[in-house]
Chain A
Amino acid sequence: MKSMKEQITSTGERLSDKIINGICDVSIKIGEKSKGKCFNFSAYEPKIPIDLLKEENK
């Protein structure tokens, strides 16, 4: 019974790790693609960090 609980917990943790990594990767990709392009279709945009601007200019 205990090992089954542990198994479920570890599977849940692995799954949540995968989901978190997936979200991180996708958001990094969006951030990466937004260099030198306008991705805000609505009329409001967040401030682009200076470091990203410098990288965009390389």
Chain B
Amino acid sequence: MKMICKLKCQTSLMEKLAERIVMRLNTKAKKEGLELAKMKLGLEIFFINLSKLIIVFLIANHFNLLKEALFMILVFGSIKNTAFGLHAKSSMVCTLITSMMFVAGPYVSYHINLDNYAVLVVFIIMTFCFYKYAPADTENHPILGAKLRLKLRNKTVLKSLFFMVITLIVKIQVVKAMIVLAIGFNVANILPITYKILNRRYNNYEEYERTNY
């Protein structure tokens, strides 16, 4: 029970912090309505990313994997930007998963050897998954509108193909493995089976459109 309370408290720590700062700033800035909502969201995104990345970079630095972690985050982030995918429900779980992905990922990359045939096969499977399942929304951020979803899917597929070409060209094994792993993590994030295992709702836009339109 104590643990659940602790998790819940940590869940909204950054949100609470953002809210407090917004309240303070707004006594002078005097923003209202949508602008205020955007400001709060912007600050939340900033604080959440900053706090997680600091922890990840500290752990990565401890294991001498800072550059590798940074590289994997860039690849992962650039494709997640349009593919979306699962997010943890609590901040604590998020920190654990993020650290595992970006610290254990580079570590594992040093022990993987991929030739170009393997890269090609893996990327064809991953690109197909992106084509079929991206973008995968969450309860907190349903993606509304078929046009937007199609645009995001096409962009994700293009990015995947771009990374495939890069991975095929690059000669350094670690870099190859890191790109494959970063994209692989993203694919795992968008698969319906992952949502099912973690008991999360898939295609959240359907629920939203049903209740709001």
Chain A residues with CB under 8 Å of chain B are 16-17, 20-21, 23-24, 26-32, 34, 36-57
Contact = CB atoms under 8 A, between A and B. Distances in A.
B42 A28 contact: yes
Interface in B59-112: 73, 76-77, 80-88, 90-91, 93-95, 97-98, 101
B94 A44 contact: yes
A40 B76 CA distance: 11
A21 to B, nearest CB: 6
Mostly, the B contact residues are: helix
Question: Most chain-B Cβ atoms within 10 A of its Cβ — which of A17, A31, A36, A38?
Answer: A38
A57 B144 contact: yes
A53 B26 CA distance: 22
Contact of B25 (A23, A42, A54): A23
Contact of B45 (A34, A50, A51): A34
Question: Most chain-A Cβ atoms within 10 A of its Cβ — which of B38, B81, B88, B98?
Answer: B38
A38 B141 contact: yes
Mostly, the A contact residues are: helix
B34 A51 contact: yes
B26 to A, nearest CB: 8
Given A34-B41, A48-B141, A57-B148, 19 more contacts: A17-B28, A20-B29, A24-B29, A26-B42, A31-B41, A38-B135, A42-B56, A42-B94, A43-B101, A44-B52, A44-B88, A44-B91, A44-B95, A45-B140, A46-B45, A50-B212, A51-B34, A56-B144, A57-B144
Nearest to A48: B141
B54 to A, nearest CB: 11
Nearest to B89: A44
B53 A36 contact: no
A57 B212 CA distance: 12
Nearest to B87: A45
Given A37-B82, A38-B141, A24 B25 contact: yes
Nearest to B47: A46
Contacts of B37: 31, 49, 51-52
Contacts of B101: 43
A30 B45 contact: yes
22 contacts: A16-B28, A17-B28, A26-B42, A27-B40, A28-B42, A29-B42, A30-B43, A36-B152, A38-B85, A39-B49, A41-B80, A42-B49, A43-B52, A43-B98, A43-B101, A44-B95, A45-B48, A46-B48, A49-B40, A52-B38, A56-B145, A57-B145
